[in-house]
């Protein structure tokens, strides 16, 4: 019968929740295990119990306090986990707020940068247009100057050519006079005369 009692599951009534600050339960003297409570090993050999093994029976008040301590520790664990979960949720919420704020600032900086770039590029384009206009004016002035120089050069060439033709005419007239009179010019023959 002792084996049957040892194999029966022990059912205990649910204790009422108690505070953690319970007075300590006095310890009971150790109870020795009886040979009838031992189970046979799977291969059928009965093992001898060690001589110093003793089992302490828990009084019902101790089980109740142990259950209440377990319940209190579980409740404290749940409260701690809840608190940690709330802290984690708050932390995630604050990080999300910071991320959103930073994203808005990045967007604002990007818009500011784009507007400033567009403004500077518009100014640059205006300056380039002015420079192109001035360049066109300078190019036109220089081309006009080159055309004027070319015209003056043509006039000078024409003058030189006219003078050459005039001098040729004079030389031809003088040569015809020399031919008609039979006179030889001295300058030309001066180097040949002795």
Report pLDDT digits (tens) over 31-87.
444 444 444 444 555 555 555 555 554 444 455 667 777 888 899 999 999 999 999
Residue 176 vs residues 48, 168, 169, 190: alpha-carbon distances, Å: 168, 12, 10, 20
Q: Is the pLDDT of residue 17 over 60?
A: no
Q: Is the pLDDT of residue 180 over 70?
A: yes
Cα 187–chain centre separation:
96
Which residues neighbour 69 within 8 Å (Cβ) at sequence distance 6 or greater? Answer: 20, 22
Instruction: Give percent of the chain with pLDDT exceeding 90.
Output: 49
Give the pLDDT mean for 143-155. Answer: 95
| Model pTM score | 0.39
Which of 70-79, 117-126, 132-141 is least confident?
A: 70-79
């Amino acid at each position: 019968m002792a084996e049957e009692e040892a194999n029966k599951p022990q059912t205990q009534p649910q204790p009422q929740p108690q505070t953690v600050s319970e007075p300590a339960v006095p310890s009971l003297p150790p109870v020795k295990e009886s040979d009838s409570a031992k189970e046979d090993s799977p291969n059928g050999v009965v093992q001898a119990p060690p001589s110093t093994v003793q089992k302490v029976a828990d009084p019902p008040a101790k089980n109740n306090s142990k259950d209440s301590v377990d319940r209190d520790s579980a409740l404290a664990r749940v409260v701690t986990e809840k608190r940690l979960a709330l802290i984690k949720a708050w932390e995630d919420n604050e990080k999300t707020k910071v991320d959103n704020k930073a994203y808005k600032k990045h967007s604002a900086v990007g818009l500011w940068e784009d507007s400033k770039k567009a403004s500077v590029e518009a100014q640059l384009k205006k300056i380039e247009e002015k420079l192109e206009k001035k360049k066109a004016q300078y190019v036109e002035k220089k081309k006009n100057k080159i055309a004027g120089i070319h015209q003056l050069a043509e006039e000078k060439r024409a003058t030189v050519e006219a003078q050459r033709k005039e001098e040729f005419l004079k030389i031809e007239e003088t040569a015809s006079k020399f031919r008609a009179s039979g006179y030889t010019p001295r300058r030309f023959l001066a180097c040949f005369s002795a």
